[in-house]
Each structure stands twice: as C-alpha cells, then as structure tokens.
Amino acid sequence: MPIKPAFPWGVPHLFVVAFVSFVAGFLIITPEYTANYLSGLAGLTLVLLSPKIRPFPLYITCFSFGFFLLGCFAVPEHSEANPQKCYGLEILKFTQKNHHATGTARIYINHAGKFIPQPLRVKFRMKSLQASLKEGQILAVTGKLHPIQSSGNPGAFDAVSYYSNQGIIYEIRADSGIVKIGSKGGILYAINTLRNSLGDLFDNQMNAEEAGIAKALLLGDSRDIDSMSKHAFATTGSVHVLAVSGMHVVLFVELLMIFFQCFSRFINRTTAIVLGMILVWFYALLTGFSPSVVRAVLMFTVVHLGQILGRQSNANHSVIACAFIMVALDPTCFNDIGFQLSFLAVLGIIHFNAPIEQLISFKNKASIFLWKATSVTLAAQILTVPLTLYYFHYFPNYFLLANLGVALLSTVLMYLGFIYLAVCWIPGIGALASQLFSLVIQLLNSFVRCIAQLPGALEGGFNLSLMDTGILMISMVFLFHKKMKLMVRIIPITVIMMILSIRRNSHREENHIFLVKCHYPCIIIKNGSQCRIIAPERLNRTRENPLGTVVEDYQKLYPCTVINTLWVKDQQNIHYRGLNILYSKNTVSIEGKRVYWNIDYSNFNHWKLSSGKWKQDFTPFKIVR
C-alpha cells in the first residue's frame, strides 16, 4: 500500500525536507538569533508530521544536504581584533591547575572606562593566578588578541580547526594585571555552582584520582582526571566513559522509572514520563549539554512525546530529527567530533546490531548476555572506526575486551554514584556508599590500565584522507548488504584494508627528517623503525617537558620501535648522518650536502628562516631522504 503524502497539496515530503534544510541553512547566518529557533522548529514540525519513510538512503541524503549548508554557511563572523590592551573576560569554561588556567570566555571591550560585551568568544591562557576561577566571573585583563595557531607537528592536536568549529578564532594570554570586576548570574551559572558543589562532595570523600573519574562519570567534568588515566582510557578505546554520554542518560532514566514505580499509586505513566523529561533535561543541563547527552535526551523526549500523543516513528526518524534540531540551534556542533561519533554510533546500533547478534546463537544465559553486549559494541564501531582512524590515526586493538568490562563496571558506578549523591548527607550510610563507590572506581581504573599495558594495545600509523574515510565507511556498510553474496560483499572492505595496510607499512619503514615545535626546535630523524630525536638541553630542564607529548603524537602517524633522545648543549656541534647541527641561544642551524637552514626561534609564535626557499613565517616541514 503506497504511503500518502503528509501535506494536502501533494508535494512529496522528501523534497520538502530538503527544502526546509536548505532554507534553514541560510536562515542561520542571519544576525537575528531567533532564526536559529525558527529553523529548528520548522524542521521538527516537518519531521513529526511526515509519515514513516522507507527509502532510508534518500532520507539520509536529503538531511545531509541540509547539514552541509548549515555547516558551511553558518560560520560566525568576527570583527577584527581590537588593538586595545585592556579587555574584560566572562569565564565560560576553564581548566585550572596550580596557578595556571586555560579555557574559553566571552570578551568585553573597554570603551571610555566601561566594559561593553561583544558577540565574540576567545580562548584564554592565564598564569600566576592567586585565586580559583569560577564560571560567570568577569575579569579585567591586560594582554593582546592573537589568532589561534596550531603547532603543525605530525599527529598533533589541530587547535585552529577545533576552536574555529566553535566560532573561536582568537586567543588572549594574560600573565599579569588580572582583576575581578564582577560576575554574571542566571540559571547557567547557578547550575555551574551546583555542579561545583557536587564535585566538592567527591573531593572531600575521595583521593584526587578517584574524585576526577567520579566527576567525569556523573557530572561531565573531566578537568581533574590525571593524565595517566586519560591515556589508559584512550589506549583501550573506552575514553567515551569519561564524558557523560547516551549510556549515562539511559541509566539515569532507568533509575527514574524505578523510583516512579515505587509511587505508582500516586504517579501514573503519563505523569512519570513528563517528570522524567523534566529531570532528564535538568541532568543534561547539569552535565554541560555535551552533544551525546543532548542527542540522548532529545531522542528520549521525541519518542515519549510520540507515545503520549499516540504516534510512533521509526528509530531513523528520531535520530535524524534530533540531529537536525541540534544543528539548527547550534550549527557549529555539526563539526564537533563528539556529535559525529555519537550519531554514527547510534545509527550503527540501529542498523547492524540485529544482523550481528543473529550470526551466533547461545543457550547459556551468561553467554547470551555477553554476546548481546559484544554485538552492540561491534555495531557501534562499524560507522565510528573510519572516523576514529581519520581523526586520531590509531586503533585500540583490545577495544572489545575493554568495553565489555568498562560497560559493566561503569553501569555499577553510575548506580552507586547516584545513590551516593542521594544519601551522602546521612551519617554512616553516606560514608558506606562513598567507600563502595571509591572501591568500584579503583577497580575500573585498574582494569583499564591493565588492558592498556598489554603488548600491542595500540596500533598507529593510519593517515586517512576524507575520501579514504568515506570509502571505508561505505565498504563496511556494504558488508551487511544481505541481497548480495558474501564473497561479493567482502571484496570492497578487503581491497580498502589492503591499501590502508600497505600505506601504513610504508609510514613505518619511511626515512625522513622532521623539524618540530616544542618550545624550542627539535629534530626527529627517522630510519625505518628507528628514530633519533635531537633536542636542546634547555628543554629537559623546563618544568613541564612537552617532548613526550610531541613524540607520542608523532608515533600516531609514524610508529617506531626504537626511540633515542640526544640532548644538545648550546654551541655544541652535532654530526649525525651527514648533517651538522648547531644550537645557540635563539637560533638553530642545520647544514648538509644539499640542505641549509638557519631558524630564529626567539619569538615562539613566529619562527623565521633566514635562509632557504621557505616561507618567512616558519611552518614545520618534512624532508624525505
């Protein structure tokens, strides 16, 4: 039976979906802030009125077209940097360790002694702070606005892309003249105060390592997680647990439903759903509205609103409706890695969980439970693995083992954490709940670190282009196309994996020289699987030696089995493989048979080459020998 169009004038609803996406994309760039909400409301209304859509690929194409417009045209415009040196900063998010702080802030321009707010957010760095920062504080600082720059080192974090996707293109460094001039109130800052108060409960009852993980799991505050724990979770592919995600929202909803069932005489099903929506949105607000949380809460709201209204929609409808609303309200979130991974993981579970689960059947209940958890993990990875390789250049080999244990322990942790927050004020019971909570956190941390220390836990060397990523994703989806023979389905994924493996092996065996930024210039000379690093001795004496991070990033693209570091003193000549290297106070010269560079690094942000056929503003380069 054919599906009737949802609109009385007979226009095919798919074309209307594409048109609304198109119009919304251009509405977003208008200066009126209400256009965001109007376009989101239009998209939501259209999705709710449309019938179930069977041609899923066409549906995806139409919405992707709208997303493309939203992402490309909805780039916030910024005025040029104000030459004045006195600015006001309204603290939005920050990370503070000892007396140093970094974060994002809304900027105020000092005009005739008054600070005037601007529609511009900036990244800030502050040193020598004598007091702790708080969200909502407004500080008067002395400094200059600089365009955000990336180090350009191989495998390093691309700060320019990351912040520009959030509409932030400037950075201000303030080391002195920092004065508090006020604070901003409102519900968001009241929520931040509540989050900080709940975080203090964990700080008072646990050690720093356990409190950091607890605050990340329950409150979405990952600022206090130590670097070793972060590295272990990243190595095992379970770093998503350290940020409040859809799984946390589902567990929170289950706890709410269990609680409401205890009062079923007074609270009917509709009332329980409405109260659940209110509390879930409050929890999303409390945890900082991360993309994965907003997606989960929006899906919960859309699905249960449909149940209250007596309407049902398929899962694809709900997922893409939530994505459209989020992009309409905040176009920059489409470029957020968390947004992309979250929606791809959900789509993977929706479409591939059942086929994977049907591959093997068990009779034992424990085996059935483990296989169901395994199939969900595998289904979520099908669409996210290509994107993970594209962004992070490595693959966690033990992700399946790690995620099975992490999923079980984090579920227990979530329940214990919510129970602890509910009973922490009761003498005796609160202390017992705190001890149980701390014990399970220790168990989770120890489990993840053990997995991370296994041989071959991480495979690096993957350097995918955007086209490679798309082809790999399509080939993995094609593998589950049941209408074709298995051998035909295997061919695309086999070919692309062979190409990526050959390319990865060539990176492993490559010979080259890299000059990288690390406070001072450092030289990486690679010969096959062996790597020699030449760095000035001054770098080794700094309080925070960043060379370890640079090498770790480098190995994501160029894995090495042997790494040796040679520390060079000032005015010391080093001869290595036909190169003569000399470090002085502000310059380093590299001389060979066919190469000669003299780099002036007195200004960290603008290294300059006084010789050689390179641009005046230095960018890290690679010389293949």
* Percent of the chain topping pLDDT 90: 4
In a domain, 3, yes or no: no
In a domain, 7, yes or no: no
pLDDT value, residue 83: 54
Residue 519 burial class via C-beta count within 10 angstroms: exposed 0-12, middle 13-18, buried 19 and up: middle
Gap between the Cα atoms of 58 and 274, Å rounded: 34
Same domain? For 243 and 391 the reply is yes
> What stretches of 175-268 show up as alpha helix (H) in DSSP?
187-205, 208-219, 227-235, 246-261
Helix (H) or strand (E) holding 103: strand 100-111
Same domain? For 201 and 266 the reply is yes
Q: Do residues 165 and 119 lie in contact, with contact meaning Cβ atoms separated by under 8 Å?
A: no
The arithmetic mean of pLDDT across residues 344-362, rounded, is: 88
**Closest Cα partner for 458 from 342, 555, 549, 547?**
555
Residue 313 has pLDDT above 70, yes or no: no
Q: Do residues 433 and 419 lie in contact, with contact meaning Cβ atoms separated by under 8 Å?
A: yes
Residue 175 has pLDDT above 80, yes or no: no
Same domain? For 53 and 111 the reply is no
pLDDT value, residue 335: 75
Same domain? For 547 and 588 the reply is yes
* CB-facing half-sphere around the CA of 462: CA atoms within 13 A: 25
Same domain? For 336 and 409 the reply is yes
Last residue of a domain, one of 153, 184, 215: 184
Same domain? For 537 and 451 the reply is no
Same domain? For 286 and 368 the reply is yes
Gap between the Cα atoms of 96 and 129, Å rounded: 9
Gap between the Cα atoms of 123 and 106, Å rounded: 9
* Average pLDDT score over the chain: 77
- The widest CA-to-CA distance across the chain, in whole angstroms, is 87
For residue 211, which amino acid is it?
A: A
Question: Taking the mean position of all CA atoms in its chain, how far away is CA 45?
Answer: 30
Gap between the Cα atoms of 565 and 549, Å rounded: 14
In a domain, 531, yes or no: yes
Gap between the Cα atoms of 516 and 152, Å rounded: 8
Last residue of a domain, one of 163, 184, 205: 184
DSSP 3-state of 581: strand
Same domain? For 207 and 175 the reply is no
pLDDT value, residue 1: 33
Q: Which of 9-13, 169-173, 284-288 has the lowest mean pLDDT?
A: 9-13
Residue 69 has pLDDT above 70, yes or no: no
Same domain? For 476 and 523 the reply is no
User: DSSP states of 398-443 as a string?
Assistant: THHHHHHHHHHHHHHHHHHHHHHHHHTTSTTHHHHHHHHHHHHHHH
What does the angle CA 224 – CA 226 – CA 230 come to, to the nearest 5 degrees? 110
The number of domains in the chain is 5
Gap between the Cα atoms of 92 and 99, Å rounded: 18
**Closest Cα partner for 184 from 90, 93, 119?**
90
In a domain, 81, yes or no: no
**Closest Cα partner for 373 from 413, 417, 410, 322?**
410
Q: Do residues 349 and 315 lie in contact, with contact meaning Cβ atoms separated by under 8 Å?
A: no
Gap between the Cα atoms of 124 and 135, Å rounded: 14
User: What is the phi/psi pair of residue 206, to 5°?
Assistant: -130, 165
**Helix 187-205, helix 208-219: angle, nearest 10:** 140
The total of other beta-carbon atoms located within 10 Å of residue 124's CB is 25
Top pLDDT among 333 and 331 is at 333
In a domain, 327, yes or no: yes
CATH number of the domain enclosing 128: 2.40.50
Residue 5 has pLDDT above 60, yes or no: no
Last residue of a domain, one of 392, 422, 455: 455
In a domain, 6, yes or no: no
Domain with 32 in it: 13-73
Same domain? For 212 and 357 the reply is yes
Same domain? For 208 and 260 the reply is yes
In a domain, 565, yes or no: yes
* Residue-wise pLDDT tens digits, 420-445: 888 888 888 888 888 898 999 999 99
Same domain? For 231 and 340 the reply is yes
In a domain, 223, yes or no: yes
* Residue-wise pLDDT tens digits, 178-218: 888 888 777 778 888 888 888 888 888 888 888 888 888 88
